[in-house]
């Protein structure tokens, strides 16, 4: 009997949703940084086993809405609850119980879906702290299971996979077994570039950046991919930070992004980066659509 289904990964920002997805896939698909709100789009991750196919929907963190971009991100996450077969709710053991976790649990009141609570980052807490936290969550909602894991280390990931295969119904193989996502190569490239920007810059800059891949050309005989991408920011001061003194910051972003792109695509990469100011794009519905954040 072959099992299959869609699994939504939800939770507050920075609880490790993308890290868990990458650990399950055994491949870095979703970008992950220590900064909250790194994930902006729903990302489909596909893992095929002999006995079944797990199709994960990684979502932006559910957080307080302050801009149209934030609203788009939260709506994408909440829509997932209505379109999957199973939910994984991730919480951060190191943060203890957070009011935001309670807010998300309240959103689950009307769902009939099986919900697994995954308590992540258990490597950061002692057992005497973890057990009361598990007990508190157990009394808040009828979770199908409560699973402590460390996604970063891979601890408990196999148990999560086994639980999901046990829950999902018999179903078809939706995707070829060697496929890990339905996202385009351009999307993956833009996300890798944005990850490097997020890791290398600070304050408001990572949250004011949108990356659009303008050109993606493969030269198969040379095993070479030529990529041209524009980094959009909201202010001239942000552009100056991204370029850096003598172009040093943009050069470092390009170096780190190229290395990651070459690993992912298993090809040589020629990468061109440009920076452009699009004033207040995070508040502009037209620009949000143009940059792929709103349908």
Domain with CATH 3.30.300.20 in the chain: 185-290
Whether the predicted pLDDT of 135 surpasses 70: yes
Whether the predicted pLDDT of 276 surpasses 60: yes
Residue 45 burial (CB count, 10 A): 24
Cβ–Cβ under 8 Å, residues 119 and 136:
no
Just give the CATH number of 3-167.
3.40.50.300
Separation between Cα atoms, residue 234 and residue 283, nearest integer Å: 10
Three-state secondary structure call for residue 146: strand
Three-state secondary structure call for residue 286: helix
Which phi-psi region, left, alpha or beta, contains residue 266 (left: φ > 0; alpha: ψ -120 to 50)? left
The DSSP bridge pattern shows strands 145-148 and 86-92 to be unpaired
- Residue 190: per-residue pLDDT: 95
Domain with CATH 3.40.50.300 in the chain: 3-167
Q: Which of 197, 293, 273 is nearest to 238 (CA)?
A: 197
pLDDT, averaged across the chain: 91
Just give the CATH number of 185-290.
3.30.300.20
Report the pLDDT averaged over residues 40-46. Answer: 82
Whether the predicted pLDDT of 171 surpasses 60: yes
Is 264 exposed, middle or buried (CB count within 10 Å of its CB: 0-12, 13-18, 19+)?
A: middle
Whether the predicted pLDDT of 295 surpasses 60: no
Cβ–Cβ under 8 Å, residues 87 and 68:
no
pLDDT tens for 206-260 read 889 999 999 999 999 999 999 999 999 999 999 999 999 999 999 999 999 999 9
Token pair recorded at residue 170: 């018999």
Which phi-psi region, left, alpha or beta, contains residue 101 (left: φ > 0; alpha: ψ -120 to 50)? alpha
- Residue 187: per-residue pLDDT: 92
Separation between Cα atoms, residue 65 and residue 71, nearest integer Å: 5
Q: Which of 135, 126, 34 is nearest to 117 (CA)?
A: 135
- DSSP assignment of 205-273 equals GGGG-EEEEEEEEEEGGGTEEEEEEEEEESSHHHHHHHH-GGGHHHHHHHHHHHHHHHHHHTSEEEEEE
Looking at residue 32, the DSSP 8-state letter turns out to be -
The CB-side HSE value for 109 (13 A sphere, CA atoms) comes to 4
Looking at residue 89, the DSSP 8-state letter turns out to be E
Give residue 58's pLDDT band: very low, low, confident or very high (50, 70, 90).
Answer: confident
Rounded to the nearest 10 degrees, the angle between the axes of helix 157-167 and helix 17-25 is 80
- DSSP assignment of 116-134 equals EEEEE-GGGS-HHHHHHHH
């Amino acid at each position: 009997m072959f099992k299959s289904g869609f699994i939504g990964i939800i939770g507050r920002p920075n609880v490790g949703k993308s890290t868990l997805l990458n650990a399950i896939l055994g491949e870095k698909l979703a970008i992950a940084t220590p900064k909250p709100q790194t994930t902006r789009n729903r990302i489909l991750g596909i893992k095929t086993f002999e006995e079944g196919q797990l199709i994960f929907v990684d979502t932006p963190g559910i957080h307080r809405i302050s801009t149209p971009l934030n609203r788009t991100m939260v709506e994408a996450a909440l829509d997932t609850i209505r379109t999957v077969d199973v939910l994984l709710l991730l919480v951060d053991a190191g943060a203890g119980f957070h009011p935001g976790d309670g807010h998300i649990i309240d959103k689950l009141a009307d769902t009939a879906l099986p919900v697994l609570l995954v308590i992540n980052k258990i490597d950061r807490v002692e057992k005497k702290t973890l057990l009361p936290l598990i007990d508190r969550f157990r009394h808040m909602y009828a979770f199908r299971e409560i699973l402590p894991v460390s996604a970063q280390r891979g601890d408990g990931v196999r148990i999560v996979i086994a639980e999901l295969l046990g829950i999902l119904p018999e179903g078809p193989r939706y995707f070829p077994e060697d496929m890990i996502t339905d996202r385009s190569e351009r999307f993956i490239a833009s996300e890798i570039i944005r990850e490097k920007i997020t890791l290398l810059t600070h304050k408001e800059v990572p949250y004011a950046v949108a990356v659009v891949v303008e050109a993606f050309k493969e030269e198969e005989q040379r095993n070479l991919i030529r990529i041209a991408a524009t980094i959009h920011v909201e202010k001239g001061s942000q552009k100056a930070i991204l370029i850096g003194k003598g172009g040093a910051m943009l050069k470092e972003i390009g170096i780190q992004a190229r290395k990651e792109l070459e690993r992912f695509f298993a090809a040589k990469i020629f990468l061109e980066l440009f920076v452009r100011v699009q004033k207040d794009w995070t508040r502009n519905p037209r620009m949000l659509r143009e940059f792929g954040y709103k349908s």
